[in-house]
Amino acid sequence: MPVSMTALADDLAAESAVLRAMVAGLEEGGWRRDTPAVGWTVADQVSHLAFFDDLAVQSAVDPDGFRAERQRVEAAGGVDPDAVAARYRDRSGAELLHWFDRSRDRLVETFRGLDPRLRVPWFGPEMSAGSSLTARIMETWAHGQDVADALGVVREPSARLRHVAHIGVGARAFSYAVHDRALPDVPVRVELDAPDGSVWTWGPADAANRIAGPALDFALLVTQRRHRDDLALEVTGPAAREWVEIGQAFAGTAGTGREPGQFAGGPA
C-alpha cells in the first residue's frame, strides 16, 4: 500500500494533541516534574520534541542548510540531547508550549505536502519523507509516555502504535549496530495484538524466532520505556531473545532503558 503523507500527518497531529492535553493545564511546578528519563523533566521532554521538529522541517525545506548544521554539530562532538535540554531550561512552560505548537504545526503542514519518497537528510543515513514523519510519530509517543508516567496519566492505546512498532521492527539491524554486535542471519516473526482486536505482523510466518503479544507492550519495549521483564511478550528463539535485550526504535547511542519492576502497579 502506498504511503499516504496525509494519513501520516493526521496521525502525528492526533498524537500531538494527546501530548498537548497532558501539559496544557500544568502550572510551572508540573512542567518541572521529573520524568523516568533520568535528569529530564516534563519541560525537557517537550523542548526536545520542539527542537527536533524544527530540524526536521529544515531537513525538508533547506536540506543544504541542515547538512551544514549537522556538520557543525558533528564537528563539536555530535548531538547531545542532555545539552539540548539544558539549553532551554530558562523557558517557562507557557513559552515551551507555544514553541511546541508552532513547530509542530509547521512540521505537520510541511510534510503533509511532500512526496513520501523524497529523500531528506538526518543524523545518520538519509531517509524518505514518509519515514521521517513516521519517526516523529514514534518520538512523540515515546516522549509522551515519559510525560504520562511523570503525571500519572494512562493513555488509551490507539492504531498509531503501528507506526511505533513498524519503526521498532525496521530498526532491528540498527539495534545490533549500536551495541557493536553482529546481526543474526535469521528472520524474526513479530505478531502483535492491535487495540482494535486485529493482528499486525512482520516477518515470515514460518520463522522459528518469534515475538508475540500486545502492540502496546512491543512499543514500550522498542522505545525502552519499560523493561522486558514487565511486558506480556512471548519471545521464542535465541535471535528473538537477543533482540528484545537490545532493541531500540530511536536513533543515537544505545539507550539505558528502565529497571525491572520500576512501574509495578503504575500506569502503562
| Residues 23 and 103 both lie in one domain | yes
List of residues 6+ apart from 115 with CB closer than 8 A: 5, 129
- CA atoms within 13 Å, Cβ hemisphere of 9: 17
Q: Does some domain include residue 82?
A: yes
203: amino acid identity, one letter? G
Pair (126, 189) in one structural domain:
no
185 in the same domain as 95: no
The reply to whether 266 falls in a domain is no
Which pLDDT band holds residue 2 (cuts at 50, 70, 90)?
A: confident
pLDDT tens digits for range 200-245: 999 999 999 999 999 999 999 999 999 999 999 999 999 999 999 9
Q: What is the pLDDT of residues 71-127, one digit of tens each?
A: 999 999 989 999 999 999 999 999 999 999 999 999 999 999 999 999 999 998 899
Q: How confident is the model at residue 252 (pLDDT cuts 50, 70, 90)?
A: confident
Distance between CA atoms of 251 and 245, rounded to whole angstroms? 17
Using an 8 Å Cβ cutoff, are 201 and 185 in contact? no
Structural domain contains residue 199: yes
101-105 contact pairs (CB < 8 A, 24+) = 101/20, 103/49, 103/50, 103/53, 103/54, 103/57, 104/12, 104/13, 104/16, 104/49, 104/50, 104/53
The H or E element containing residue 52 is helix 42-61
pLDDT value of residue 1: 59
pTM: 0.95
Q: Which residues contact 186 (CB under 8 A, 6 or more apart)?
A: 207, 208, 209, 237, 239
Instruction: Residue 197: give the domain boundaries.
Output: 162-246
How high is the pLDDT of residue 254? 80
With a cut of 70, say whether residue 266 has pLDDT above it: no
- Inform me whether the pLDDT recorded for 251 exceeds 70: yes
Which among 155, 180, 199 is the end of a domain? 155
Grid coordinates given for 15: 498524537
The CATH number of the domain where 234 resides is what? Answer: 3.30.1050
Residue 267 domain flag: no
